[in-house]
Chain A
Amino acid sequence: MKFPRTQMAALVAASALALSACSGGSPAAAPAADLTAEPDYNGSISVLTKFAGEPLEAYFEDVAAAYQKKHPGVSIELIQETDQSIKDKIRTLTASQALPDVYFTWAGNWQENYVNGGLAADLSELIAPETEWGSSFGEASLDAFAVDGKYYGIPLYSNGKFMGYNKAAFEKAAVDVPTNFDELISSCEPLRKAGYEPIAFGNKDGWPGLHYLGQLFAYNVPAEVLEADFDPQTASWQDPGYVTALEQYKRLVDSCTDTGAGSNGVLYTTAQEAFSGERAAMYYQEVLEFDSVAGEKKLDPEKFGIFALPAPADAAGDPAAIEGSPEGYMINARSPQAALAADFMKFATNTQNAQTLSATPYGQPSAVKGAVTEETSSKAVFEGIEKVNEASQLVIWLDTVTVPEVADAWLAGGEALTSGSSTPAEVIDSVRTASESAK
C-alpha cells in the first residue's frame, strides 16, 4: 500500500496525536497484590468462569450464594462463558484492561501470556505444595500452572481425553476394545455393519480434530522433541512423527466416521448427541463431557465405557501419555480485592464443594485430593481420573499450548486435512511457516 507523501505526513501526524492522547499505557510490572492480608469481607469481586449453560452454570451460582451467605458484606459478580465463547471474551477483556478479579485459564502458552504480562498474581505463598491450601491439591495439577518455579493457578479440575464407547454396540458387532491404532480402524467396519456410525465426529470448530492430533503427536513424536516444538523459541516441527500422526488421523476420519471429509460441517455437539442417542458407537471426548453423554434420558451409564485412544503398535513417542490438562483460575494481579478473591477461591475448592463439583450432574473431576470417589462421582468420571493419574505424562491441548499463530495454523491445517484439500506434508509446512514468523 502506497501513500502520496503529503497524505502520509498528515497520517503520521494524526496518528502521533491520537497515540499521545489515548495510549497512556499501563506499566507491565503490576503492583503486588497483597494476598496474605486478612481479607476484608466487604466489597465485590468479579469472577469469569467457563461454566455457562446447563448443567454447569449452577455450580458457581451455588458456591457464590453460599459464600455471600457466610459473608453478607461481599457481593460476587459472575461472568459465565462457554468453552467456545470464553476465548474471545477473555481476550477482549484483557485488551481493554478489564480483567475480572478471578478468571479462568488453560495451562500452557495461554497462561504464560498472562503471567508474563503481569496480569496474574503470584500465589506461591498461598498455594505452593507445602502450604495448607496447596497441600489439598494433587501436586501435578499445581505444577501445571507453575511458571519459573512460582505458582500462579488455582487448579479446579483435571481433564483428559478418552474414547467413549457403547458397550452394547461393541457386543452386537462382536468387537473387543482395541489395543492398538490398527485394531481401532479395523473395528469400524463390523460396527458399521451392525448399524452404527463407528465414530461420531464434528469438526466445525476445528479443535475436535486437534484433540486427535495432539494425542497422536504424543504417541508418534518423542516427548522431548514435542516439548521443544511447543516452545516458540526452539520450535522446528521437523520430526517425521508429525506426518505419520497426520496420516493416521486422516485414516481414522476417512474410514471410521460417516461424515468423513465433510466433518468440518458438523458441530461437535451433534456428534455428542449421535453417541448419547446410540446412533454412533464411539465418540472421542473429555472427562468433563462424561456426565453429559451418559445419564438419565441419555446413554445408559451401564453401556458407557472408555479407553485411551489406542497407540499405534510401533509408536516412536510415549504410548502411555494422555492428552489433557487441569484447568484452573488465576487472580488478577491488579485486583484491589486480591485477598478476598483468593479467599473465595479457597472456599470454592474446599472438600465439600470439590466433591459436589466431581459428582453428577456436574461431573468435573476436582483437582482436590480425595474429591473424586467411587461413591460420589459417576463410574466413568472415577475411571477416567484413575487413568489420568496413571498416565506417564499429560500432554496439553495443541491449541492452548502453542502460540496463537501456530495454534491457528494447526486449526486451519487440521480442517484442510479433514476435507482433503491439503496433504499431511502441506499441513506441516504451513505450521513451520507460521512458527518461523512467530519467532
Chain B
Amino acid sequence: MVSKGYFFAVIGRVFAWTFLLGLAVIVIYPLLWMLLNGFKTNSELFANPFALPQQFSWQNYVNAWNRGVSNYVTTSVLVTVTSTIATVFISAWAAYGLSRVKIPFSKFWTGFILGGLMLAPTVALVPLVKLMQALGLYNTFWALLILYTAFRIPFTTFLIRAYMIDLPFEIDEAAEMDGASRWKTFWHIILPMCTPILVSTVLLHVLFAWNEYIFAMVFTNGTGVEPLPVGLTSLMSKHGTDYPVVFAGMAIAAIPVLVLFFASQRYFVKGLSEGVGK
C-alpha cells in the first residue's frame, strides 16, 4: 500500500520536473535554433524552420567574419579591454579614497560618485552628441572608451568600496608603521586583498561593454569603429536577404561571453549578488 501523502509527493515531483525541464527547453531551444540557422542555406531557412541543415558547413560563419564581423569583433575586444582597465583602476582609486582615507567632505564625495548610479544614459544622450563633436571624438573609438568608463564608474566604485570598507582598518596602520607610503599600501596590500571583488567587477564590466548598444549606435557611424551589437544590426541591413549569415554573426557575438560566463560562474554570481544593491 502506498500512502496518500506519498502519492501527492510523487505527483508534485513529476510536476516540478516537467516544469524545470520545460523551462530549460524554452531557454535553450531558441539558442540552438540560432546556431543551427547559421549552418543553413537561405532556401533551407525559408523552407522549414525546424529542419536540420543538410550539411554542416562553416561557410556562413566564414562569410559573416569576412563581411565585417572581424572588424566588429576587433573593435569590441579593444573597447571592452581598455574600458575595463580604465574603469576598474579609476574606480578602485576612488573606492580607496572614499573608504580608507580621511578626506574632507567625504559624505559629499561619496554621494557625488555613487549618485551617478541613478542616472540613465539616455538622459545625457543629446548633450553628449554635441560634446563629443566639440571634442572631435565623435565616431572614434575614444568616445566609446570614455562613455563606457564614465557611466560605469559609479557602479564599479560602489562594489569595490563596499568590499574595502569591510577590510580591517589595522592593515593600513600596520603598513604605515612599517614605513609604507599610501600609494604602496594601496598597490601592495589593499588592492591584492580585493582580488575577489575585482574579478567580479571585471566580469560585470566585460558583460556590459561587450553588449552595450545605445552609445555604440549613436556615437559610431560605420567607418570601422562599430562594435558588435551595432555591427550586427548593420549586417542585417547590409546583407539584405542572406539571413543565415546574420545568424552566424549573432552566434559569433554571443559565444565569447557565454564561454567567459561558464568559465567563471562563481565570480559572476558574487558580483551580481553584490551589485543588486545598485
Contact = CB atoms under 8 A, between A and B. Distances in A.
Contacts of A265: none
A273 B138 CA distance: 36
A159 interface: no
B222 A96 contact: no
A92 interface: yes
Interface stretch (A4-12, A78-86, A244-252): A78-86
B43 A277 contact: yes
B241 A97 contact: no
Interface stretch (B13-21, B74-82, B83-91, B232-240): B232-240
Interface in A87-131: 89, 92-93, 95-98
B264 to A, nearest CB: 36
B240 A272 contact: yes
A76 to B, nearest CB: 12
Contacts of B237: 53, 82-85
B46 A277 contact: yes
A57 B235 CA distance: 13
A340 to B, nearest CB: 20
A292 B67 CA distance: 17
Given A22-B130, A273-B46, A80 B241 contact: no
B221 interface: yes
Interface residues of B, number: 19
Contact of B221 (A54, A92, A97): A92
Contacts of B133: 96-98
Contacts of A179: none
A227 interface: no
Contacts of A421: none
A98 B241 contact: no
Given A53-B240, A84-B237, A89 B221 contact: yes
B129 to A, nearest CB: 5
A140 interface: no
A386 interface: no
A270 B236 CA distance: 11
Contacts of B43: 277
A74 interface: no
Contacts of B132: 96
A47 to B, nearest CB: 11
A273 B222 contact: no
Contact of B223 (A77, A96, A274, A277): A77
A422 interface: no
Interface in A360-384: none
Nearest to A95: B129
A57 B67 CA distance: 11
Contacts of B67: 54
B241 A52 contact: no
Contacts of B106: none
Nearest to B241: A273
Interface of B: 42-43, 46, 67, 129-130, 132-133, 138, 218, 221-223, 234, 237-241
